[in-house]
Structure 1
Amino acid sequence: MTAPSTTALTDDRLPVVVVGAGPVGLAAAAHLVERGLEPLVLEAGPTAGSAVREWAHVRLFSPWGEVVDPAAEKLLSPTGWVRPDAAAYPTGGDWAERYLQPLADALGDKVRYGTTVTGIARAGRDRVVDSGRDEQPFTVYVRSADGREERLTARAVIDASGTWSVPGPLGADGLPALGERAAADRIAYRVPDLGDPAVRARHAGRRTAVVGSGASAFTALALLADLAEREDGTHTVWVLRRGIGANTFGGGEADQLPARGALGLRAKAAVDAGRASAVTGFRTQAVERAGDGRLVLVAEDGRRLDPVDEVVVLTGFRPDLSFLSELRLGLDERLQAPTALAPLIDPNVHSCGTVYPHGVKELSHPERGVHLVGMKSYGRAPTFLAMTGYEQVRSVAAALAGDHEAAERVELTLPETGVCGGTGLFDEPDATRTDDGGGCCGAPATLRIGAAPGTAAGGC
């Protein structure tokens, strides 16, 4: 007896599995519903936006009008949902409670919580097998919160699981610095929630090193500067792997996302006021314990920072590709982003304001029916915008529904940013180093931008 074909089953009856119930994953589900396709959203956490809730205290630099997906809003409207003020700026907690959870609730049993995806493959085909590959549905292996394993079947897969679970390490070479794991009790990889008394106590009246140069680092610098105004002895050492340049503090007043520009200006103000000091061209190689238990960061060139009580590492995130190992993905060797997308988002060339909207064409892989979207589609590249993700999933859903004209159409205009200069003075720390900070074993170069004339070595 001839086995039944799975082609019709794959095309017509199986769900599209969406990995992750974050902003882009839920938007993908809304677009699939709008297209008459059946989504099944698998979320490892207990609620919608579980990762977003981990930075609930951080305010977005995009207003409500830019973080609500149009298809999602259509799905929410019949439920009595009230759209927040489009000009107001939500926190991560606001975003999760006032938008993501109501959207997940509107999707109902199309969202499964406590479900971790552990592997995805073609049914009966590992990544080596060619024969009949495209005709087979996808097999999705999952593990529930109680440890039970299950195998699901899908017609297509949209991976919107993000990058939150894999933060970048302290080590400048992309690997954990020597001693980084052993010092885990004093190293954090998230913007500190100073509203939490326990977290506040770790930083109040103490020295904290903040490592990183993006929006998360700016946020941490601003929050710790506010704490320094209230708690004597609080100081932040801002550790940069590059030098200070025109783009170090972001787009400022030129940024068409005003809150993002203001964030960089707040970080600059913290340094100007002396509540933070900047150490440039410092690429961490090792973490050592001082005699009092504090941490000493050691650079590749032998320079050593004065001891700090805490280290906050904000060096970006990476995609978890482990559960996709049996799929044929086309990923850029540097960014771990889809090969067609990588040149458009390369941080050596682009900021988020110079990336044009893109869709299914740039997000496709050799494995048909698989799409990495949202933050995960950017691989290791930073400066992702929610609006970009919403446009991605609109295009992908259209393609899965067979509407290729809509899939190829661009329906988004991104705000521009004043940051268009790539990575800055990555290899020119001397351009902003004080005269006494030169030797390989000497004191690190420390800047106070905007200090009295003659006390700083470089402008910004």
Structure 2
Amino acid sequence: MTTPATTRTEDLPVVVIGAGPIGLAAAAHLVDRGIQPLVLEAGPTAGATVREWAHVRLFSTWGEVVDPAAEKLLAPTGWTRPDPDTYPSGGDWANDYLQPLADALGDKIRTGATVTGVSRSGRDRVVDADRAAQPFVVHITHADGREERVFARAVIDASGTWTTPSPAGGSGLPALGEKAASDHITYRVPDLNTPSVRARYVGRRTAIIGSGASAFTALAHLADLAKSEDGADTKGVWILRRGISGSTFGGGEADELPARGALGLAAKAAVDEGHADAVTGFRTEAVERTAEGRLVLIAEDGRRLDPVDEIIVLTGFRPDLSFLSELRLNLDERLQAPVELAPLIDPNQHSCGTVYPHGHRELSHPEQGVYLVGMKSYGRAPTFLAMTGYEQVRSVVAALAGDTDSADRVELTLPETGVCGGAGLFDTPDANRAEGGGCCAPAPASGGC
């Protein structure tokens, strides 16, 4: 490995952590700017986490989940863009876009490469002397156990939050007994088309904890299962930490993303038709196992629910910041998002489906040259769409290229949910709504991109 002693920092690559939609888009923008990217992906393939929810359909169309720079890179390969008005599943997105994009990037991507640490070369987070002049050093553990370090001129962390789901406990910590009951708890929308998975839920009573798109999806899927020939006695118990209001099920027909509105309506139908019972104001404190092996959820106010067979926890995600501990990041104390971005996405204030335009300036840190982008940049906030991440990396890469005018010209128009305090913005399970709340004032107008 070439060391910084023999290579100018500006000649080093920009390391991109994560080969998901936003990480690959960042790499495409870097290539377009003539900057060498090195994409490090922990999974065995590009889009590895997207493939884990291949059975879930996005509520954004193909026209909204293809990055312009990526499409430009794909054009010479003969790639044909799918019908922009249709809705891909996670599997479609991975197979028909992410994998071709990864193939076009070629050896700029390394899979099976887990980033275990990022720092300034020869400088821990305490040292000031000559800090900004040092390249970044990125520590990697490969799938075969081999360790490596690479040097970088900048680091773009697009690793997402998929690997760190939030627990069932209402305090943000695992409920008592949650870990012991892990054999009957999942933190993902189950694929009920897989026979072994279907068998866990058909004819059973399942608790769904959460109030966003993923919870809506799980409710709708369980309702479909209940309507199947062998689905008798399949029942959902929908557990919400708040009450039910007019905005609980999203914007419905007023949602500018029709599929997102339809998803909320499907969840409402599951409750209205009796396939799921809604339990409100329930903040889980403990999970107890009965003598028969079933699970009882207990709230912090002492309420005990009737036993269930399975629990699906869909309470959002949180960022893994452990491998960034030697960098000087400026993160909001609540959301764990960049401090300049946090007020724009705080679910206590904003849940209306618009996000003020933002780019490299809101995403910057005291450690110059480090950017958290995509869902990682939102910390624990839920209001995220792929198109938001694409605009983020366009701005960040322009800043790294020294094109300040382009970097500052951030334009973004996001679809309205049709409600205030509604289902939030997300088009992937990685952006499942947190159990926050609140309303928000109209967002400033923004131009199209």
Q: Scaled by the length of structure 1, what TM-score is found?
A: 0.90
Per the alignment, in what secondary structure is the counterpart of residue 287 of structure 1?
Answer: strand
Query: How many pairs align?
Result: 423
Displacement of 1:420 = 2.3
1:194 to 192, 195, 203: 192
C-alpha change, 1:200 and 1:422, in structure 2 (3 Å) is: closer
TM alignment of 1:144-159, pairs within 5 A: 144-159=142-157
Give the structure 2 partner of residue 125 of structure 1. Answer: 123
2:49 to 45, 51, 65: 51
Give the structure 1 partner of residue 8 of structure 2. Answer: 9
TM alignment of 1:315-394, pairs within 5 A: 315-351=315-351, 353-394=353-394
Give the structure 1 partner of residue 233 of structure 2. Answer: 233
C-alpha change, 1:65 and 1:5, in structure 2 (3 Å) is: closer
**Contact 2:351–2:423 (8 Å) recurs in 1:** no
Per the alignment, in what secondary structure is the counterpart of residue 142 of structure 1?
Answer: strand
**Contact 2:243–2:281 (8 Å) recurs in 1:** yes
Per the alignment, in what secondary structure is the counterpart of residue 135 of structure 1?
Answer: coil
State how far apart, in whole Å, the 1-side matches of 2:195 and 2:357 are.
42
- Between 343-352 and 139-148, the greater mean CA deviation after superposition: 343-352
State how far apart, in whole Å, the 2-side matches of 1:255 and 1:388 are.
18
**Contact 2:4–2:135 (8 Å) recurs in 1:** no
State how far apart, in whole Å, the 2-side matches of 1:95 and 1:225 are.
26
TM alignment of 1:33-44, pairs within 5 A: 33-44=31-42
Give the unaligned 5+ runs of structure 2. 425-434, 438-449
Q: Please give the per-residue CA displacement for 1:282-328, whole angstroms capped at 9, x wherever unaligned.
A: 00000001121000000000000100000000000000000000000
State how far apart, in whole Å, the 2-side matches of 1:263 and 1:149 are.
44
Give the structure 2 partner of residue 263 of structure 1. Answer: 263
Displacement of 1:352 = 6.1
Give the structure 2 partner of residue 138 of structure 1. Answer: 136
Specify the code of the residue in structure 2 equivalent to 1:289: R
C-alpha change, 1:30 and 1:427, in structure 2 (3 Å) is: closer
**Contact 2:168–2:174 (8 Å) recurs in 1:** yes
Q: Please give the per-residue CA displacement for 1:53-93, whole angstroms capped at 9, x wherever unaligned.
A: 00000000100000000000000000000100000000000
State how far apart, in whole Å, the 2-side matches of 1:423 and 1:260 are.
9
C-alpha change, 1:6 and 1:192, in structure 2 (3 Å) is: same
Displacement of 1:417 = 1.6
Is 1:104 the equivalent of 2:102? yes
State how far apart, in whole Å, the 2-side matches of 1:378 and 1:117 are.
20
Per the alignment, in what secondary structure is the counterpart of residue 85 of structure 1?
Answer: coil
Displacement of 1:358 = 1.1
**Contact 2:347–2:436 (8 Å) recurs in 1:** no
Is 1:84 the equivalent of 2:82? yes
Give the structure 1 partner of residue 410 of structure 2. Answer: 410
State how far apart, in whole Å, the 2-side matches of 1:82 and 1:348 are.
41
Displacement of 1:5 = 8.7
C-alpha change, 1:136 and 1:352, in structure 2 (3 Å) is: farther
**Contact 1:24–1:389 (8 Å) recurs in 2:** yes
State how far apart, in whole Å, the 1-side matches of 2:416 and 2:96 are.
27
Specify the code of the residue in structure 2 equivalent to 1:120: V
Give the structure 2 partner of residue 220 of structure 1. Answer: 218
1:210 to 208, 211, 228: 208
Give the structure 2 partner of residue 439 of structure 1. Answer: none
Bigger-Rg structure (1/2): 1
Give the unaligned 5+ runs of structure 1. 429-460
Per the alignment, in what secondary structure is the counterpart of residue 164 of structure 2?
Answer: coil
State how far apart, in whole Å, the 1-side matches of 2:92 and 2:423 are.
32
**Contact 2:12–2:153 (8 Å) recurs in 1:** yes
State how far apart, in whole Å, the 2-side matches of 1:410 and 1:83 are.
25
Is 1:183 the equivalent of 2:201? no
Displacement of 1:356 = 2.0
State how far apart, in whole Å, the 2-side matches of 1:411 and 1:158 are.
20
State how far apart, in whole Å, the 2-side matches of 1:357 and 1:114 are.
34
State how far apart, in whole Å, the 2-side matches of 1:211 and 1:28 are.
34
State how far apart, in whole Å, the 1-side matches of 2:408 and 2:238 are.
43
Per the alignment, in what secondary structure is the counterpart of residue 133 of structure 1?
Answer: coil
C-alpha change, 1:352 and 1:96, in structure 2 (3 Å) is: farther
Runs of 4+ in 1 over 3 A off after TM superposition: 4-8
State how far apart, in whole Å, the 2-side matches of 1:419 and 1:203 are.
32
**Contact 2:248–2:422 (8 Å) recurs in 1:** no
Displacement of 1:31 = 0.3
Specify the code of the residue in structure 1 equivalent to 2:15: V
Displacement of 1:416 = 1.6
Per the alignment, in what secondary structure is the counterpart of residue 227 of structure 2?
Answer: helix
Displacement of 1:15 = 0.1
Specify the code of the residue in structure 2 equivalent to 1:104: A
RMSD: 1.7
Displacement of 1:413 = 1.8
Per the alignment, in what secondary structure is the counterpart of residue 263 of structure 1?
Answer: helix
Per the alignment, in what secondary structure is the counterpart of residue 152 of structure 1?
Answer: strand
Displacement of 1:253 = 1.0
C-alpha change, 1:62 and 1:127, in structure 2 (3 Å) is: same
Per the alignment, in what secondary structure is the counterpart of residue 274 of structure 1?
Answer: coil
Displacement of 1:410 = 1.9
Q: Please give the per-residue CA displacement for 1:141-180, whole angstroms capped at 9, x wherever unaligned.
A: 0000000000100000000000000000000000000000
State how far apart, in whole Å, the 1-side matches of 2:139 and 2:234 are.
48
C-alpha change, 1:31 and 1:370, in structure 2 (3 Å) is: same
Give the structure 1 partner of residue 431 of structure 2. Answer: none
